[in-house]
Chain A
């Protein structure tokens, strides 16, 4: 007669049952763990580079989040992407500061809690109360980083002294060797500065606007091409372009670190600041996670990451961030003049009134500027 035994969970507990149950429990632990802590995906809308591993990988690993970046090129493109997507598509929006007002006016972003961010630690009071970032006493966007645009040049054909004025673009030896970053706003802004419009570079009456167009047309014979980011990068790197209008250290900085003989400087007529800021997309269901990330990027560690960003460098906007950069990467801090007492310290340049925040035209429409830009390209 065969001896039968009761089996199953309801049967008499035996050592074998205990081992089976224990083994099953152990083997299923990874799945339980994953279910408990599923990775949170954060949809980011940003310029290229902000969602890349050199910036976010450490944060992702430490906080069990995953950034899903959607990159754009230009404020218009950003606004269009948001306009054409359902509310809540983007949790985190990195925007050029001059477009924050439009984001807010269109209802694409939610207000931030000002006390969450180190507004009392900003390197300049303008950064704390940045134009367009506040509305009705509420903070809508938190400034992350900035960069300055001026004369970018090859040191072999333009001297540091010559680069102290936009007039170097007209140097006869540079005929066919001056490139344009293909966006009307910074280029025409620089021509406006060259015409002596200073702080009112964006606020041009008809006479001044005509003069800016005339000055720009006068540069046409020097121009060797109109380029996107990759083309600008290549043009400077392979020496096809010896000077570039419309850019700054955000491109030459990458090449300089790579050993290319290029540099950017702020000429005596003044330079333009691009400013990048974070906002939370309206309808986002991940406000807590996004807030935490913005706090991280404004922390000393995050500021170092953004200053060193591989795609294009920028300068820190908090005092603690700058101190951390000087401690962690003094070479980069020195290269980008982010040290007190240096001649081209970004903050000193702002204090001296040589830097003007990038804006949109005040008396003309963007379309007028773009129309002229197309005419200029065809001239």
Chain B
């Protein structure tokens, strides 16, 4: 069995690697460790005091409303991911296989533009569109429908999530499918594969990694988003980010908020690693 050559320490390579390592240590690992430590602190007279007590963990874990929020957040983030993936696919497919290179570049540029403006502002603009006296209900009114309640509902929350995630998912799906070897698709069609079967049996398997990455991003962004469920969902039911806010507002319980945040991070790590493992899993028989 061939042995891997021992790596030589390279000062040059390390010089380039060091900034990102330092950055991650200072701005990610450090704060996470502090947050974990903070979850054991106590709050006395609105001031955090250093301690090593499990009271915050036992308190939050034993509360029914925490688990209600947890499962609701998981569910609505999962629904958001499915919606975004389905809604994005036709547009991404058209851009990848039907549009010219120039059109695709312009489309991707236009999909990036929403990120130039504040997400909060984009969310607030939905008030004008979705309210009972808003644009959608006014148009439906002309054909004798409505008014429908869209704000302060799960639908409102999902609209907010789509505002946040859909452009990103379209971009990721487009780039993934645009990089598929077109001759494979054409071969499948020439061999009599029907269009839907081509998508299912050729395009999707070849796009698996990119699609899973897009889904993970969508889930992560939806799971951690505060703005959409708060402003468009009317806080009912509260998601975990809203629970964090509620916990800090009342009694300044930052340690309990840290417990919620750690559970959130743990969940996202688990889902992200599972997704990545699935994305890069080799098919049986593949070398």
A374 B235 Cβ-Cβ under 8 A: no
Known: A366-B250, A367-B251, A374-B246. A83 touches B45 (CB 8 A): yes
Q: Is A116 an interface residue (CB 8 A)?
A: no
The stretch of B95-103, B128-136, B179-187 that contacts the partner chain: B128-136
Q: Which residues of B contact A179 (CB under 8 A)?
A: 234
Q: Is A361 an interface residue (CB 8 A)?
A: no
Q: Which residues of A contact B46 (CB under 8 A)?
A: 76, 79-80, 83
Q: Is B68 an interface residue (CB 8 A)?
A: yes
A84 B47 Cβ-Cβ under 8 A: yes
Residues of B51-89 whose CB lies within 8 A of A: 63-65, 68-69, 72
A224 B234 Cβ-Cβ under 8 A: yes
B250 A184 Cβ-Cβ under 8 A: yes
Q: Which of B64, B149, B231, B250 contacts A231 (CB 8 A)?
A: B231
Known: A370-B246, A375-B64, A378-B238. A240 touches B251 (CB 8 A): no
Residues of A63-98 whose CB lies within 8 A of B: 73-74, 76-77, 79-80, 83-84
Q: Is A182 an interface residue (CB 8 A)?
A: yes
Q: Which residues of B contact A74 (CB under 8 A)?
A: 249
Per-residue A-contact encoding for B245-264, CB less than 8 Å = 1, 0 else: 01001111000000000000
Chain B residue at minimal CB-CB distance from A367: B251
Residues of A225-245 whose CB lies within 8 A of B: 225-228, 231, 234-235, 238-240
B250 A224 Cβ-Cβ under 8 A: no
Q: Kindly state the separation between the CA atoms of A374 and B249 in the bound complex, as whole angstroms.
A: 12
A377 B133 Cβ-Cβ under 8 A: no
Residues of B134-150 whose CB lies within 8 A of A: 134, 149
Known: A176-B149, A374-B246. A226 touches B251 (CB 8 A): no
A238 B127 Cβ-Cβ under 8 A: yes
B252 A80 Cβ-Cβ under 8 A: yes
B151 A240 Cβ-Cβ under 8 A: yes
B133 A238 Cβ-Cβ under 8 A: yes
A378 B132 Cβ-Cβ under 8 A: no
Q: Kindly state the separation between the CA atoms of A350 and B196 in the bound complex, as whole angstroms.
A: 73
Q: Is B152 an interface residue (CB 8 A)?
A: yes
Q: Which of A176, A228, A378 contacts B68 (CB 8 A)?
A: A378
List 5 A-B pairs, minimum CB-CB distance, nearest first: A225-B234, A225-B152, A226-B235, A370-B250, A80-B252
Q: Kindly state the separation between the CA atoms of A337 and B149 in the bound complex, as whole angstroms.
A: 35
Q: Kindly state the separation between the CA atoms of A238 and B234 in the bound complex, as whole angstroms.
A: 14
- By a beta-carbon cutoff of 8 Å, the part of chain A in contact with chain B is 73-74, 76-77, 79-80, 83-84, 106, 176, 179, 182, 184, 223-228, 231, 234-235, 238-240, 366-367, 370-371, 373-375, 377-378
A106 B250 Cβ-Cβ under 8 A: no
Q: Is the interface of B mostly helix, strand, loop or mixed?
A: loop
Q: Which of A77, A176, A227 contacts B249 (CB 8 A)?
A: A77
A16 to chain B, nearest CB (A): 61
Q: Is B169 an interface residue (CB 8 A)?
A: no
Chain A residue at minimal CB-CB distance from B231: A231
Per-residue A-contact encoding for B101-130, CB less than 8 Å = 1, 0 else: 000000000000000000000000001000
Q: Kindly state the separation between the CA atoms of A305 and B45 in the bound complex, as whole angstroms.
A: 34
The number of residues on chain B lying at the interface, defined by a beta carbon within 8 Å of a beta carbon of chain A, is 31
Known: A83-B47, A226-B236, A371-B63. A378 touches B250 (CB 8 A): no
Q: Kindly state the separation between the CA atoms of A74 and B68 in the bound complex, as whole angstroms.
A: 26
Known: A106-B45, A223-B236. A374 touches B132 (CB 8 A): no
A375 B65 Cβ-Cβ under 8 A: yes
A76 B238 Cβ-Cβ under 8 A: no
Q: Kindly state the separation between the CA atoms of A301 and B243 in the bound complex, as whole angstroms.
A: 43
A225 B250 Cβ-Cβ under 8 A: no
Q: Kindly state the separation between the CA atoms of A212 and B234 in the bound complex, as whole angstroms.
A: 23
Q: Which residues of B contact A238 (CB under 8 A)?
A: 127, 131-134
Q: Which residues of A contact B252 (CB under 8 A)?
A: 76-77, 79-80, 83
Q: Kindly state the separation between the CA atoms of A371 and B236 in the bound complex, as whole angstroms.
A: 16
Chain A residue at minimal CB-CB distance from B233: A225
Q: Which residues of B contact A228 (CB under 8 A)?
A: 230
Q: Which residues of A contact B149 (CB under 8 A)?
A: 176, 224, 240
A260 to chain B, nearest CB (A): 12
Q: Which residues of A contact B230 (CB under 8 A)?
A: 228, 231
A225 B127 Cβ-Cβ under 8 A: no
A sample of 15 more A-B contacts (CB under 8 A), given A235-B152, A378-B64, is: A76-B250, A76-B251, A76-B252, A176-B149, A182-B235, A184-B250, A223-B236, A225-B152, A225-B234, A226-B236, A238-B133, A238-B134, A239-B132, A239-B133, A371-B65
B152 A378 Cβ-Cβ under 8 A: no
A326 to chain B, nearest CB (A): 36
Q: Kindly state the separation between the CA atoms of A319 and B278 in the bound complex, as whole angstroms.
A: 74
Q: Which residues of B contact A226 (CB under 8 A)?
A: 234-236, 238
B237 A378 Cβ-Cβ under 8 A: yes
A239 B131 Cβ-Cβ under 8 A: yes
Q: Kindly state the separation between the CA atoms of A339 and B152 in the bound complex, as whole angstroms.
A: 39
A246 to chain B, nearest CB (A): 13
Can you identify 24 A-B contacts, CB atoms within 8 angstroms?
A: A76-B252, A83-B45, A106-B45, A176-B152, A182-B246, A184-B250, A224-B149, A224-B152, A227-B235, A228-B230, A231-B231, A234-B127, A238-B132, A238-B134, A239-B131, A240-B131, A366-B250, A374-B63, A375-B64, A377-B235, A377-B236, A377-B246, A378-B65, A378-B72
